[in-house]
Amino acid sequence: NAGVTQTPKFRILKIGQSMTLQCTQDMNHNYMYWYRQDPGMGLKLIYYSVGAGITDKGEVPNGYNVSRSTTEDFPLRLELAAPSQTSVYFCASSYSITEKLFFGSGTQLSVL
């Protein structure tokens, strides 16, 4: 069991570039989440999904897009990267709303 796997671990983007952060889980979890963590600011929810084909916005969705075509995968797309998107991004998943939340190891993204 690999748990929640995120790739890449580090990435540097130029302003205006686009990229996709990959997240996959092998625990058959229904709920998947994308968070960003800025220094001293805690975690902010970007997007979440309650199952394949169903996604919804979190607290800070602007500049991001997601899709959930399978139970396992929940990629996060950054369009037209901006310096404000410099952050550490975490993917997380849980089986249900009463079960534990499991996190990936994160992607550190810098937009210069």
- Tell me if residue 83 falls in helix, strand or coil: helix
The site for another protein (CB under 8 A) is made up of 33, 35, 40-43, 45, 48, 58, 90, 92, 97-106
CB of 16 to another protein, least distance (A): 28
CB of 43 to another protein, least distance (A): 4
**Four-residue CA torsion sign, 38, 72, 101, 96:** positive
CA distance 38 to 57: 19
CB of 34 to another protein, least distance (A): 12
